[in-house]
Structure 1
Amino acid sequence: MSAELETSEGLDEPEKKISGVPEKDNHTRMADLSELLKEGTKESHDRAENTQFVKDFLKGNIRKELFKLATTALYFTYSALEEEIDRNKDHPAFAPLYFPMELHRKKALIRDMEYLYGEHWEEQAKCSEATRKYVERIHEVGQNEPELLVAHAYTRYMGDLSGGQVLKKVFSELDQAGSLLAKETLEDGLPAHDGLPTHSRLPTQDGLPVHDGKGDVRKCPYYAAQLDKGALEGSSCPFGAALAMLRRPSLQFLLAASVALAAGLLAWYSM
């Protein structure tokens, strides 16, 4: 699969916009990647923000059982993600993004699980079907195509550093629940009990021509259901172009710089 985006030759105007290919040159800018990520994930992001769980959470109406399920999903997700990150810490496509002390979440989530489930939490916590599929996908890309692991790490950690802080503030303002927040920063970089909900993000599978900015929406369970309804005829996937960009060394360097800056700011803020 080519690591370079195709030129704009042969593309009509909508395809140029979707693929993120400039009309006059083929130089990738950070703004291109940011715009593609925003456009390609907007629908999923909006759907996640408008789930009943998140709406209730933002109002301070937090049901313990749902909170346990969300935390459990995060535990299994980060366990898989950080296992593959450690496996690929020396891989040239991922090494610049390796910040385990600043970003890893598993240890903090174990503390959450111990609080929510008790001493024998590992016997009680069950991985949901949706989370299992996501975990399998993380292991698949980690073992077979590590450069795509960059997209998973970027999506999870950067999302948690931003949206997670909003939810943490809501949680901290509750009379009883607020006292459960860790007052100190743990050794893995982020406070425990962040209260971060999760939802599956399944990227394009291997072998698809994502370099042209048009992924196969049939590979996404949500879009597959929409296709069955005839609601997405002729659709293309702008997020595919973002994944293609993530394969480029120059963009990986910029992402590494962004993550390093975020980790540094977080460490400074926690002092």
Structure 2
Amino acid sequence: TKVESKPQTANHTVVGDLSEQIKAATQETHVRAENTDLMTSFQKGQITRTQYKVLLCSLYEIYTALEEALDRNSSHPAVAPIYFPQELDRTEALERDLEFFLGSQWRSKVIVPAATHRYAQRLREIGKVKPELLVAHAYTRYLGDLSGGQVLGKLAQKAMELEGKDGLAFFSFPGVSSANRFKQLYRSRMNSIELSEEQRREVLQEAVDAFNFNIQVFDDLQKMLSVTSESAEKPKGTSRSTPFPPPSSVQLTVGLCVGLLTVGIGLYNF
């Protein structure tokens, strides 16, 4: 089911570079994210392993759906120019991180909220019926990761007291020697895609929707961890076991901001 959102793209022109149009169309969402306490909280390095593991589970489902759709449509005229699996794919990196945090049986421990399922379903849907809309999701996710990845990786490493890079593969792009040069190449390739006026409007709206999906995932993760925390306070034997020990109420709010910042910090630097 496609997420409902205001037609924020209606007042934007459909001429010019697609990358700049997406940036303009999603500006309002950026402002909303910038005006929260989440950015400041994460920059203080307040994230726990519990929160990070739950986030990784959702990211894994999202990127699996996105990359399967991109692979399936790799020769599509709107996808081929921005198809960089060796440089950008995150699925294998997330698998390594999940194995590090959850163990060899991590697949049986993956838990995601309803919003994550909706996000992944949307990616699969457009992959089948409107592959050109994948451009909006690939651009907002990958370029956000490239822009904010280094900062987020260091903050997460320090907050969780991790030694080396184990558990942080998601933030590493070994196939990209220069993030700035690669982003320039990516924008150039994306701007070369030929779209009708209607298709371009749909891509811009899909970019806005991509942010809304991420915000909904964040909200659902917060609710899910709140329930986990409340269950842990009940007498023994009243709740099912979970691979994620409960975070404190204070850590809960400040840590989950990484879900937004994965697309947030990076996007501000597009």
TM-score range, shorter chain: 0.5 to 0.7
* Structure 2 letter corresponding to 1:19: H
Any idea what the Cα deviations from partners look like across 1:251-270, whole Å, max 9, x if unmatched? xxxxxxxxxxxxxxxxxxxx
Which position in structure 2 is the counterpart of 1:201? none
Higher helix share: 2
Q: How does 1:91-130 map to 2 (within 5 A)?
A: 91-130=76-115
State the alpha-carbon separation in 2 of the partners of residues 175 and 65 from structure 1. 10
Alignment of 1:251-262 (within 5 A): none
Structure 2 unaligned segments of length 5 or more: list them.
Answer: 1-7, 178-197, 214-270
CA contact (8 A) 2:136 2:204 kept: no
Q: How far, CA to CA, are the matches of 1:186 and 1:165 in structure 2?
A: 8
For 1:144 and 1:118, the matched residues in 2 are separated by: 37
- The counterpart of 2:12, out of the listed 14, 19, 24, is 19
1:227-247 Cα shifts (integer Å, max 9, x gaps): xxxxxxxxxxxxxxxxxxxxx
TM value normalised by structure 1: 0.56
Secondary structure at 1:62 match in 2: coil
Q: How many angstroms apart in 2 are the aligned matches of 1:39 and 1:190?
A: 26
3-state SS, counterpart of residue 19 of structure 1: coil
Alignment partners' CA distance in 1, 2:163 and 2:32: 27
Distance 1:55 1:67, change over 3 A: farther
Q: Please give the residue correspondences for 1:1-271 in structure 2 after superposition, counting only pairs within 5 Å.
A: 18-20=11-13, 28-30=15-17, 33-49=18-34, 54-174=39-159, 176-181=161-166, 189=175, 211=201
SS at match of 1:177: coil
Distance 1:190 1:74 in 2: 20
User: 1:90–1:213: structure 2 CA closer, same or farther, 3 Å change rule?
Assistant: closer
Partners of 2:154 and 2:109 in 1: how far apart?
28
Identity %: 41
Deviation, 1:189, is: 3.3
Q: Which has the higher contact order (CA 8 A, sep 6+)?
A: 2
Q: CA deviation at 1:138?
A: 0.2
Distance in 1 separating the partners of 2:60 and 2:134: 18
- Code of the aligned partner of 1:20: T
Kept in 2, the 8 Å contact 1:77–1:131? The answer is: yes
Unaligned runs of 5+ in 1: 1-14, 22-27, 192-207, 224-271
| 1:138/1:173 CA distance change after superposition, 3 Å | same
Task: Give the whole-Å Cα distance in 1 for the aligned partners of 2:211 and 2:161.
Answer: 38
Structure (1 or 2) with the larger CA radius of gyration:
1
